[in-house]
Amino acid sequence: MRYEPADPQFFVRNRKRLLEQLKPSSLVVIHSNDIMPTNADGTMGFRQNNDLFYLSGIDQEETVLVLCPDAALEADREILFVRETSEHLAIWEGARHTKEEAAKLSGVKNVQWSDGFEAVLHRLAPQVEHLYLQTNEYHRADTSVETRNRRFITQCQNRYPLHKYERVSVLLAEMRTVKDPEEIKFIQKAIDITEAGFRRVLKFIKPGVGEWEIEAEYIHEFIRRKSRGFAYTPIIGSGKNACVLHYVENNRICEDGEMVLMDVGAEYGNWVGDMTRTVPVNGKFTERQKAVYEAVLRVMYGASEILRPGLILSEYQKQVLELMEVELIGLGLIDSEEAKKQDESKKLVKKYFMHGTSHHLGLDVHDVGHPTSEFKVGMVFTVEPGIYIPEENMGVRIENEFIIGEERNIDLFAHYPTTVEEIEAAMAE
């Protein structure tokens, strides 16, 4: 295992918290993700189902977690199924966890091989009334690819049509929004690795380098620090490319006098970082670039102060747009008189700042959490305002992560070069 594993008691606590929310006479079944194919016999890198990982800490395919708190036999109340390792598998793909290793990582005492799952399910299902199954219920999820969990729902409903089916993802989404100190440790590690990559590229960027070369500098630094790589497809956009919100081609030469926007994050132990910085290609901000950058920076820190317990996302975004409107007027991008007369449903600010300011972060980059839920202490949010001016070939976005605290929020990017002066100094080293 490349990364230092999380404390197994974290997963024990998570399972206990989940069990406290189940209806009496219930069975929970959560499967791992599939290894996804590419072409011919190629496959993508494996990425675990985050709900399963959150409850077990097991980071391999063909894993199933079964929780049955009211089972007749105590040993049946918590069972982890893992893929059986073998000499053949060890030679061709690498050995998988032994039962002892899986028990140590997860804190589950009863670990069995995956091929025994069906028999155990058929023994436990008649003992319960409710079956809690998992599917991706994120509000912007693409569900066109059928997952192992989705296939299991169909199989289970065909086999046990008279049971009452429940949604475990709803319970886990609420649990995952507030971060355990163990999670914060891993998120901070992912952010620190991202910072190392950022400092590396600040010394590398200059006129004539390719966006793809900057991407290569990041991945080198991430992997050498035990990350598996990017937490999401990196955005390296110079000049007008910075105005394309999800620009991922990274195939242009960075030119003198331009800025380059970098939205990247490292993964560590399945938790993620998410950073955006925008820097001058030649190492020196022009007066206009500095003005736009510092306007975005003021909104970023202003938004981080608004991001407090009790607020909901829509109210928060409305207040951030008010901050941004002031800055856009100051930059001459919006006319103050027109702003006074604007239609509230078509705010002028959205011409230059058209996306949301914040999202949950954790095991997912856009982590689970309902958009109408109130902010709570212990949640981790990104704060990422931006100003995009295609007519000036300039886009500026700045993004930090914050933990919502009791008295004040904690900036997990506190040691990053962030101000104009800090970035110019780091690029001059």
Asked if the structure places residue 68 within a domain, the reply is yes
Nearest residue to 173 (alpha-carbon basis) of 331, 367, 342, 28: 367
CB 309, CB 376: distance < 8 Å: yes
Residues 171 and 218 in one domain: no
Residues 169 and 39 in one domain: yes
Catalytic residue flag (residue 263): yes
Residues 187 and 73 in one domain: no
pLDDT digits (tens, 9 = 90+) for 377-425: 999 999 999 999 999 999 999 999 999 999 999 999 999 999 999 999 9
Out of 44-48, 104-108, 206-210, pick the least confident.
Answer: 44-48
- Report the distance separating Cα 17 and Cα 175, nearest Å: 8
User: Mean pLDDT, to the nearest integer, of 89-114?
Assistant: 94
Catalytic residue flag (residue 359): yes
Catalytic residue flag (residue 97): no
Residues 221 and 87 in one domain: no
Nearest residue to 369 (alpha-carbon basis) of 177, 180, 184, 135: 177
Output the pLDDT for position 60: 96
- Report the distance separating Cα 220 and Cα 398, nearest Å: 23
Instruction: List the catalytic residue out of 263, 267, 327, 367.
Output: 263
- Report the distance separating Cα 184 and Cα 380, nearest Å: 9
Q: Which domain holds residue 348?
A: 181-428
Res 344 pLDDT > 80: no
Instruction: List the catalytic residue out of 359, 360, 364, 367.
Output: 359
pLDDT band, residue 340 (cuts 50/70/90): confident
Output the pLDDT for position 38: 93
Output the pLDDT for position 366: 97
Res 1 pLDDT > 80: no
CATH code of the domain containing 14: 3.40.350.10
Asked if the structure places residue 276 within a domain, the reply is yes
Out of 272-286, 304-318, 341-355, pick the least confident.
Answer: 341-355
Catalytic residue flag (residue 388): yes
User: Mean pLDDT, to the nearest integer, of 62-84?
Assistant: 97
Instruction: List the catalytic residue out of 59, 218, 397, 401.
Output: 397
Instruction: List the catalytic residue out of 195, 215, 325, 399.
Output: 399
Q: In what order do the strands lie in the sheet with 110-113?
A: 110-113, 78-82, 64-67, 26-31, 130-133, 164-167
Instruction: List the catalytic residue out of 122, 151, 355, 415.
Output: 355
Output the pLDDT for position 90: 83
Please say which residue of 141, 176, 211 terminates a domain: 176
Instruction: List the catalytic residue out of 62, 274, 325, 401.
Output: 274
CB 33, CB 213: distance < 8 Å: no
CATH code of the domain containing 311: 3.90.230.10
CB 212, CB 236: distance < 8 Å: yes
Res 40 pLDDT > 80: yes
Catalytic residue flag (residue 343): no
Instruction: List the catalytic residue out of 88, 140, 142, 246.
Output: 246
Residues 101 and 131 in one domain: yes
Asked if the structure places residue 3 within a domain, the reply is no
User: Mean pLDDT, to the nearest integer, of 218-234?
Assistant: 98
Residues 198 and 300 in one domain: yes
- Report the distance separating Cα 386 and Cα 365, nearest Å: 18
Residues 119 and 90 in one domain: yes
Place of tokens 């230092």: 4
Please say which residue of 176, 200, 218 terminates a domain: 176
Catalytic residue flag (residue 352): no
Kind and range of the H or E run holding 67 = strand 64-67
User: Mean pLDDT, to the nearest integer, of 213-226?
Assistant: 98
Asked if the structure places residue 72 within a domain, the reply is yes
Secondary structure (DSSP) of 252-263? SB--TT-EEEEE
Rg (alpha carbons) of the chain, rounded to whole number: 24
Catalytic residue flag (residue 70): no
Catalytic residue flag (residue 76): no
- Report the distance separating Cα 380 and Cα 187, nearest Å: 9
pLDDT band, residue 339 (cuts 50/70/90): confident
Asked if the structure places residue 280 within a domain, the reply is yes
pLDDT band, residue 91 (cuts 50/70/90): confident
Residues 197 and 299 in one domain: yes
Output the pLDDT for position 259: 98
Output the pLDDT for position 82: 98
Output the pLDDT for position 341: 84
- Report the distance separating Cα 95 and Cα 107, nearest Å: 20
Output the pLDDT for position 113: 98
Catalytic residue flag (residue 51): no
Output the pLDDT for position 237: 98
Residues 191 and 325 in one domain: yes
Output the pLDDT for position 248: 98
Kind and range of the H or E run holding 188 = helix 181-204
User: Mean pLDDT, to the nearest integer, of 108-113?
Assistant: 98
Residues 214 and 296 in one domain: yes
- Report the distance separating Cα 429 and Cα 329, nearest Å: 35
- Tell me the pTM: 0.96
Residues 316 and 278 in one domain: yes
Res 346 pLDDT > 80: no
- Report the distance separating Cα 49 and Cα 135, nearest Å: 10
Residues 185 and 168 in one domain: no
Query: Within 10 Å of residue 40's Cβ, how many Cβ atoms?
Result: 5
Catalytic residue flag (residue 274): yes
Please say which residue of 146, 161, 176 terminates a domain: 176
CB 381, CB 358: distance < 8 Å: yes
| Residue predicted with more confidence, 289 or 138 | 289
How far apart, in Å, are the Cα atoms of 353 and each of 54, 318, 384?
34, 12, 11
CB 214, CB 237: distance < 8 Å: no
Res 50 pLDDT > 80: yes
Number of compact structural domains in the chain: 2
- Identify the three-state secondary structure at position 177: helix
Catalytic residue flag (residue 220): no
Instruction: List the catalytic residue out of 83, 96, 97, 366.
Output: 366
Angle between helix 8-19 and helix 168-177 axes, rounded to 10 deg = 130
Asked if the structure places residue 1 within a domain, the reply is no
pLDDT digits (tens, 9 = 90+) for 127-139: 999 999 999 999 8
Phi (first) and psi of residue 28, to 5 degrees = -105, 135
Instruction: List the catalytic residue out of 293, 352, 388, 416.
Output: 388
Asked if the structure places residue 2 within a domain, the reply is no
Mean pLDDT computed over every residue of the chain? 96
Asked if the structure places residue 95 within a domain, the reply is yes
User: Mean pLDDT, to the nearest integer, of 2-29?
Assistant: 97
Res 126 pLDDT > 80: yes
Percent of the chain topping pLDDT 90:
92
